[in-house]
Amino acid sequence: MSSIKVLLAFALGASNALAQPADPCAKIGGQKWIAPADLRACFTSFPVDPVIKENIIEVINKTLGFHTSTNYQIQAPHPFDRDVREDVLADLSRIRRRSRKSDCDLHIDFSRTLKRLNDGHCTWTNNCYDSLFLNYLPIPLVLLTDARGTQSVHIAPAAFDVSTADFPNQIQVWQDALPGNLKGKLSTLSGANVLQINNEDPFVAVNANAAITGSYQSFGTRQNSFFSSYQSAPTGWMYIIGNFTQQALPLHDNAELTLQVSGSIKPIRIKLPFRARNGPNTVAFTNSTTFRQNNCVARPTTNGIDINSLMDHAPIPNVDLPLTLQPPSSLPGSGGTAARFYLLKDRVTGVLALGSFLDVSYEALLESLYTGLVDLKERGAKRLVIDVLLDMPGFVCIAHLVGAKATTVPQAGLYTTARAGPLDQEIVSVLNRDPSIDSTLSLFYNPLAWRNITNEFFDADDHWLRPVVRKVINGRQDAFSPRLGQECQPQGFLIPPPEEGLFDAKQSVIVSNGRCHLQISITENGGTRNVVVGGKKDVKQHFCGVIGGQSTNFRQMDTEVKSTGLKDHSLAPPDLLVNGGQGITWRLGFGIKNPAEPAEWQDHTATINLPLTVQTSNNPQAIWEEVVKRVFTV
């Protein structure tokens, strides 16, 4: 009897297995490195769930109600009129009407729609897909300029060192994929001139990436994202391999390249497979059910909390800059993890390399910057190179330490404004009535957190969003708070700003890749020059890639709403059902050159676009020395 049951069960199981296609997520479950096609098969095996689709639309739509720039971004003013023209709310309606084959296809539509804003503060991320696995090639690229000024795309000279360090277990797969007698000789490709990518001029691929990578307003900055770069991180100097060799979604299986390798006359053609590696936040799964459960549904941290009851999804770089490219050790006492100091061989040029601020307190950062700069001066530095080759949240107030004080008066920070729609106003009214809701000053709408136009703090019963400033932007009615004061001086600046700036702004130069935003106040206040490294020479390079004012996300806004008991308000976003998030600019910074208009839309053209060569590419010290040659004539 029981054996018949077993047989029957076996027969039923077997016929089920035959009738049902294999689970595409089970195939990749538990694996570290996989083929992108297999990942795609898993990702695209889930149909669109109409409830989830509508939930995401509603969360994004209503969170954008708190985003200062939605109406500006419909058609940005000159000089960004060609870079930013996305009516995101209209596009959400389009997404609602359009049907998609899979939940993954739907996600790509959401993600690209928000990325078209080219605003790194305002992106939609769904951790079910974005960077769950990263799609890699072992050949980061650089844009090099030769002695005659001709620019061409190359495989980075350090490519092989970097990929063997980062992908020790996969390198053989790529070695074996090389054709004929190149097999096993991946190292010989380092430095090769890339004549074509997928049978077209390399800039076709560069520009295709610039169209979808998002984050930075300026086209030049988005072009440069394709190539490798470096950054100073808390753990040391890191190599960023760039968008060509690292992708957040498994959309490509191979790259075909036509190369001119040094020492060979005939160009060679290679085809390398992309390989996908699971990311640091992937929760292990065994099949479709556990993939969805572990990675795709909302987590305890997805939605906001009621504080009384008690999140650019950019992957963290984890490849060290090869030793041959690293600057010598920094000066003793180099401050904290965020700042490193160097004195160049000329003994008169100091270098301040700024890294990620995320792990240090603002006070510790100011302290370390101040002591480090004073130490540089004591060692004889007369001029300063500030290297900010990274993508970091800007703390504009530190500008005080650099440029002459006269130029940072009344302040180095930006004046700002927040949006003042009916829900925003209601949140402040609730807090006015009952300040005890937020005794710890955790809520963004707490009046006590902000200063009025004369830089005095508001009182608990001030309705700081009123009188509302009405504007018509791109034909849409909009409403903002009165102009808010800045937060650098005097109370916000714990160390009293030096009487004189520590370095003359004209003897300071900022080196960047255009991705950060701190330098705007240093530059526009004091006349410090700006160098952007490695851009295409006929493309205008902007030194400021993303300027907001203050950025935050759906979760914080949901916390504001829940803590003030306004979750039922018709404009309040519902709880998000998926493991995702929406970023926003919550306060918009006004410009320094033109204080009447948002800084975001003002021209930030770099003084110099520094061409990179074989010697200088991704070599910080060589870049600093080249900058000194070009910028300081004495």
Ligand X SMILES: *[C@@H]1O[C@H](CO)[C@@H](O)[C@H](O)[C@H]1NC(C)=O
Contacts of 391 (CB under 8 A, 6+ apart): 120, 215, 231, 312, 314, 515, 516, 545
- Each residue 504-543 as x (binds ligand X by CB under 6 A) or -, in order, gives -----------x----------------------------
Looking at the Cβ atoms of 246 and 330, the one nearer to ligand X is: 246
Site for ligand X in 302-341 (CB under 6 A): 312, 314-315
At which residue do the structure tokens 């572990």 appear?
294
Q: Which stretch binds ligand X (CB under 6 A): 175-183, 186-194, 282-290, 504-512?
A: 282-290
Note whether 551 binds ligand X by CB under 6 A: no
Q: Please, what is the minimum distance in Å from the beta carbon of residue 64 to ligand X?
A: 8
246 is a contact residue toward ligand X (CB under 6 A): yes
Q: Write down the least CB distance from residue 244 to ligand X, Å.
A: 9
Of 31, 452, 605, 621, which lies in the binding site for ligand X, with binding defined by CB under 6 A?
A: 452
- Inter-CA distances, 387 with 253, 326, 327, 339, 353, Å: 36, 14, 12, 10, 5
Report, in Å, the least distance between residue 380 CB and ligand X.
Answer: 35
Q: Are the C-beta atoms of 265 and 546 separated by less than 8 Å? A: no
Quote the CA–CA distance of 574 and 3 in Å, as a whole number. 53
Residue 325: count other Cβ atoms within 10 Å of its Cβ.
Answer: 22
The yes or no reply on residue 349 touching ligand X (CB under 6 A) is no
Residue 125 in contact with residue 26, Cβ under 8 Å?
A: no
Tokens, residue 438 = 């937020």
Q: Which residue is nearest to ligand X (CB)?
A: 314
584 binds ligand X (CB under 6 A): no
* Among 93, 150, 594, 615, contact with ligand X (rule: CB under 6 A): 93
Amino acid occupying residue 144: L
Q: Report in angstroms how near the CB of residue 96 gets to ligand X at its nearest.
A: 6
Q: Is residue 57 near ligand X by the rule CB under 6 A?
A: yes
Going by C-beta distance under 8 Å and a sequence separation of 6 or more, which residues neighbour residue 342? 327, 328, 330, 331, 350, 351, 353, 621, 624
Binder of ligand X out of 176, 359, 363, 456 (CB under 6 A): 456
CA nearest neighbour of 482 among 561, 556, 428: 428
Give the shortest CB-350-to-ligand X separation in angstroms: 27
Binding part of the chain for ligand X, among 239-247, 364-372, 467-475, 625-633 by CB under 6 A, reads 239-247
Residue 542 neighbours by CB under 8 Å, 6+ apart: 217, 218, 220, 221, 514, 532, 603, 604, 605, 606
89 binds ligand X (CB under 6 A): yes
Q: Is 215 in the site for ligand X (CB under 6 A)?
A: yes
Residue with smaller CB distance to ligand X, 31 or 188: 31
Site string for ligand X, 388-417 (x = CB under 6 A): ---x--------------------------
Task: Kindly tell me which of 459 and 500 has the beta carbon lying closer to ligand X.
Answer: 459
Comparison of 57 and 305: residue with beta carbon closer to ligand X: 57
SS3 for 83?
A: coil
Q: Is 566 in the site for ligand X (CB under 6 A)?
A: no
Among 218, 243, 579, 582, which residue interacts with ligand X (rule: CB under 6 A)?
243
Least Cβ distance, residue 189 to ligand X (angstroms):
21
Of the candidate residues 55, 145, 190, 225, the single one contacting ligand X (CB under 6 A): 225
Q: Does 491 bind ligand X (CB under 6 A)?
A: no
Q: Which is nearer to ligand X, 223 or 525 (CB)?
A: 223
Site for ligand X in 160-189 (CB under 6 A): none
Comparing CA positions, the residue from 631, 626, 613 lying closest to residue 154 is 613
Residue 464 CA: distances (Å) to CA of 127, 252, 307, 371, 442: 36, 49, 21, 37, 16
- Sign of the Cα pseudo-torsion (76, 78, 81, 84, in order): negative
Contacts of the segment 365-368: beta carbons below 8 A, 24+ positions apart: 365/335, 365/336, 365/338, 365/339, 365/395, 365/398, 366/397, 366/398, 366/401, 366/493, 366/494, 366/495, 367/335, 367/495, 368/334, 368/335, 368/336, 368/338, 368/339
Interaction site with ligand X (CB under 6 A) = 57, 61-62, 89, 92-93, 213, 215, 225, 243, 246-248, 286-287, 289-290, 312, 314-315, 391, 452-454, 456, 515, 570-571
